[in-house]
Amino acid sequence: MSSTTDKAKGMANEAAGNVKQAVGKATDNPKLQGEGFVQERKGEAQQALGDAKAAVKKTVDKA
């Protein structure tokens, strides 16, 4: 997967996680809030992976 794809999927997961957390809070559903929290963190990790891939590619391209 490319760095751009990782970043895009990460942003989507983070956004979906935020929505789940908000809906869970509004409906007093702790399970949904927890799922949203986990999904948000997954998105953050995917974005970090994309950033790392981009940095490695940039370093390799310079060599």
Q: pLDDT band at 5, cuts 50/70/90?
A: very high
How far apart, in whole angstroms, are the C-alpha atoms of residue 52 and residue 38?
Answer: 21
Query: In the predicted model, what is the mean pLDDT of residues 4-10?
Result: 94
pLDDT digits (tens, 9 = 90+) for 15-42: 999 999 999 999 999 999 999 999 999 9
Give me the residue spans of the domains in the chain. 3-62
Rg (CA), the chain: 15
How far apart, in whole angstroms, are the C-alpha atoms of residue 24 and residue 39?
Answer: 13
Q: How far is CA 12 from CA 28, 32, 38, 44, in A?
A: 24, 17, 13, 10
Whether residue 63 is predicted with pLDDT greater than 90 in this model: the reply is: no
Share of the chain above pLDDT 90, in %: 92
Q: What are the DSSP calls for 50-62, one per residue?
A: HHHHHHHHHHHHH
